[in-house]
């Protein structure tokens, strides 16, 4: 990339993010994302996920600056020296999960998830799930509040809160984690190869309704959900040197 970068700026709807965008545009200019060398996203992690989904077809790298709360996928916000930071940024490439869900009424839904696909009970009773991996039933019945399949990029989010493992970005594995497992009571989940195809069948679905969520895209009353990594889709994230995803994932394991 040349020193004269074409930068497109996007921001969340928060006042803090919009004000930051206005100052950066005044200083560095702006262009349409389809013409940009780099897209700069200002907001929090949720806005970063939204930006990656919405700009997937452009294949433009995205550099986030934190104007939200946690900002795990974001860099520190600063208005000075931005071009130099972008030129020196390290790139991380991540592949999302593809979810295929069928509801009790037969309708089908597809979605991509950069962080995780999670199944959650949608009624007063615990969910009952049957889990298959690559066509083979591995758990006949998991009684729980839910379960999720996480990418390494999402392993510090909901997966970590549910006591799932933090995965190195290049590990080539996915984390299958139970949410408040009742039976087997002490089952903590499994590590699966990145290429594994996971299927959750909802047992007693009318009595024990379950919803599925893929990066905040929700479907209710599902009968079964199939999930697998989608290597044909790549998201390019940029980080300041020494503060990339690998380093952040390592740091999270010591706090």
Catalytic machinery residues:
45
Please count the helices (runs of H) and the strands (runs of E) in the chain: 5, 17
Strand 146-150 to 235-239 pairing = unpaired
Q: 3-class DSSP state for residue 37?
A: coil
Q: How many CA atoms lie within 13 A of 199 on its CB side?
A: 13
Tokens representing residue 89 in the block = 């940024």
Measure Cα distances from 128 to 145, 223, 246 in Å. Answer: 9, 11, 35
Cβ neighbour number for residue 169 with a 10 Å cutoff = 20
Q: Terminal CA-to-CA distance of the chain, rounded, Å?
A: 37
């Amino acid at each position: 990339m040349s020193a004269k970068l074409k930068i497109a700026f996007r921001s969340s709807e928060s006042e803090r993010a919009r004000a930051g965008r206005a100052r950066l545009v005044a200083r560095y200019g702006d262009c349409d994302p389809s013409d940009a060398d780099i897209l700069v996203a200002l907001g929090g992690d949720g806005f970063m996920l939204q930006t990656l989904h919405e700009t997937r077809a452009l294949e433009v790298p995205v550099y986030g600056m934190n104007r939200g709360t946690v900002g795990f996928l974001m860099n520190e916000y600063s208005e000075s020296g931005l071009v130099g930071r972008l030129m020196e940024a390290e790139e991380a490439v991540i592949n999302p999960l593809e979810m295929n869900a069928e509801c009790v009424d037969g309708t089908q839904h597809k979605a991509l998830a950069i962080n995780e696909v999670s199944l959650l009970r949608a009624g007063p009773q615990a969910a009952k799930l049957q889990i298959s991996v690559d066509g083979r039933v591995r758990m006949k019945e998991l009684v729980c509040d839910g379960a999720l399949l996480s990418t390494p990029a999402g392993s510090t989010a909901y997966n970590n809160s549910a006591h799932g493992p933090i995965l190195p970005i290049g590990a080539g594995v996915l984390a299958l984690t139970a949410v408040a497992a009742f039976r087997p009571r002490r089952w903590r989940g499994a590590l699966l190869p990145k290429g594994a195809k996971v299927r959750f069948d909802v047992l007693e679905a009318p009595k024990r309704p379950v919803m599925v969520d893929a990066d905040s895209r929700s479907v209710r009353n599902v009968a079964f959900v199939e999930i697998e990594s989608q290597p044909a889709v790549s998201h390019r994230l940029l980080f300041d040197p020494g503060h990339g995803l690998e380093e952040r994932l390592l740091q999270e394991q010591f706090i």
